[in-house]
């Protein structure tokens, strides 16, 4: 599958998710950015779209601001604590299904804001990764101190994460900072387009295809209509 096809599939996955999330009763609204932390993760496919969006932005202000400041902000973030996953969602689903141990992962929203966040707004909102699209709370996190997420939404989110990883199975997953810095050099993006990238260090983890879906028994019936929509995506 070439990059054009993968990007089109990603857009279809986002659209299916928007249809689902549009019916949720949530407290989320514009300028509420408590959930925009330095711990956001994504795939290389999502990172590629963000880097290209910044490079090609017709909004000169955005382009200048991000090109001048983004690199520095991301690089400053390299020395800060952030969530760096050791395992992808598809690998996690496989370990669960096989009854194997899963690694403990350290994650804390107090580690800081997303390095892209500007004046409580996301400058790459149209191409933000799924990890940002799927974060909803029934109560305002700023008042409650934490998010109140419906367990079924978590199940749905995991399945969408699995599909996105699946279509990017030649790529990698990692923290937003690590993925964007990895994809910043032109030659790396060129290699990504031809499915020949190699992970230069341990900051990213290799993606894999779906072998098992991470769906608890209590959600198996309710999620069927969503799986039918996702099933129309041939990969
Ligand atoms: S998840 Fe919480 S912090 Fe994020 S937009 Fe919703 S209410 Fe605001
Ligand atoms: S990419 Fe945008 S939406 Fe996602 S955490 Fe960063 S600022 Fe927020």
The contacts of residue 182 (CB under 8 Å, 6+ apart) are 44, 47, 172, 174, 188, 199, 200, 203, 204
Pocket lining for ligand 1, CB < 6 angstroms: 27-28, 32, 34-35, 135-137, 140-141, 147
Q: By 3-state DSSP, what share of the chain in percent is helix, strand and coil, each rounded to 5?
A: 50, 5, 45
Q: Whose CA is nearest to atom 4 of ligand 2?
A: 132
Q: Whose CA is nearest to atom 6 of ligand 2?
A: 114
Distance CA 185, CA 29 (A): 34
Pocket lining for ligand 2, CB < 6 angstroms: 36, 40, 114, 116-117, 122, 124, 128, 132
Which ligand 2 atom sits nearest the alpha carbon of residue 176? 1
Which ligand 1 atom sits nearest the alpha carbon of residue 147? 2
Distance CA 183, CA 197 (A): 10
Tokens representing 61?
């202000």
Which ligand 1 atom sits nearest the alpha carbon of residue 141? 2
Distance CA 197, CA 15 (A): 28
Closest ligand, as measured to the CA of 114: 2
pLDDT digit string (tens) for 60-76?
555 565 566 667 778 88
107: number of Cβ within 10 Å: 12
Residue pair 212/94 in contact (Cβ under 8 Å)? The answer is: yes
Closest ligand, as measured to the CA of 34: 1
Distance CA 6, CA 91 (A): 20
The tens-digit pLDDT sequence of the chain (235 residues) is 899 999 999 999 999 999 999 989 999 988 888 999 999 999 999 999 999 888 877 555 555 655 666 677 788 888 899 999 999 999 999 999 999 998 889 888 889 999 999 889 998 999 999 999 999 999 998 888 889 999 999 999 999 999 999 999 999 999 999 999 999 888 999 999 998 888 778 899 999 999 999 999 999 999 999 999 998 776 6
Distance CA 123, CA 55 (A): 13
**How buried is 186 (Cβ within 10 angstroms: 0-12 exposed, 13-18 middle, 19+ buried)?**
exposed
68: number of Cβ within 10 Å: 9
Q: Whose CA is nearest to atom 1 of ligand 2?
A: 128
Distance CA 11, CA 160 (A): 12
Q: Is 43 left (phi over 0), alpha (psi -120 to 50) or beta?
A: beta
Strand partners for 206: 172
Tokens representing 182?
């990895």
Q: How many Å lie between the centroid of ligand 2 and the Cα of residue 35?
A: 8
For the full predicted model, state whether its pTM sits above 0.85: yes
Q: How many Å lie between the centroid of ligand 1 and the Cα of residue 40?
A: 14
Q: Whose CA is nearest to atom 2 of ligand 2?
A: 122
Which ligand 1 atom sits nearest the alpha carbon of residue 29? 5
pLDDT digit string (tens) for 12-26?
999 999 999 998 999
């Amino acid at each position: 599958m070439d990059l054009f096809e993968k990007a089109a599939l990603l857009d279809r996955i986002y659209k299916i998710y928007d249809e689902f999330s549009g019916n949720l009763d949530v407290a989320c609204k514009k300028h509420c950015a408590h959930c925009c932390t330095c711990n956001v993760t994504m795939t290389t496919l999502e990172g590629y779209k963000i880097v290209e969006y910044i490079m090609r932005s017709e909004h000169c202000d955005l382009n200048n601001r991000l090109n001048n400041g983004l690199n520095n902000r991301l690089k400053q973030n390299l020395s800060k604590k952030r969530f760096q996953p050791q395992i992808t969602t598809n690998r996690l689903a496989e370990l669960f299904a096989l009854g194997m141990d899963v690694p403990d992962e350290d994650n804390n929203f107090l580690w800081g804001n997303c390095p892209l966040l500007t004046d409580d707004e996301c400058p790459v909102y149209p191409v933000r990764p799924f990890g940002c699209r799927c974060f909803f709370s029934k109560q305002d996190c700023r008042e409650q101190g934490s998010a109140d997420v419906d367990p079924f939404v978590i199940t749905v989110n995991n399945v969408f994460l699995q599909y996105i990883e699946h279509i990017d199975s030649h790529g990698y997953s990692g923290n937003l900072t690590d993925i964007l810095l990895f994809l910043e050099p032109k030659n790396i993006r060129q290699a990504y387009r031809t499915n020949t990238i190699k992970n230069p260090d341990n900051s990213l983890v290799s993606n894999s295809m779906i072998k098992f879906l991470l769906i608890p028994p209590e959600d198996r019936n309710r999620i069927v209509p969503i799986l039918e929509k996702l099933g129309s995506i041939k990969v």
